[in-house]
Amino acid sequence: MEVTPNNSLDTSMRVNPNPVRARTAHAESENLDTAVFNRAQALDQALRATEAVRPGEVSRARQLIADVKYPPIAAIEGISALLAMKLDDSNDGSSPQA
């Protein structure tokens, strides 16, 4: 294979990357290139303010567990139908499993 360089490009079309500039001591002292993460700090503060255990949600969960009609039959049937469809899709092109 022969490679021929393309030297016929006009100099105005050539890519001239910007040269790397050295940082000045003034810029480093002011920390101009450091990022400020205000939103991350606010999220961190909100997370720290949130209780590890929410009593209202614990009592709601206990009520749901005690309810014999939870989850509703329609929800169970819908989930089982979706699982059956997924099983049918995964078994279409594969060999039977022992």
Answer whether residue 82 shows pLDDT above 80: yes
Residue at token pair 């014999």: 68
Q: What is the pTM of this model?
A: 0.35
pLDDT (tens digit per residue) in 29-77: 555 556 778 888 888 999 899 888 889 999 999 999 999 999 999 999 9
The residues spanned by each domain of the chain are 33-91
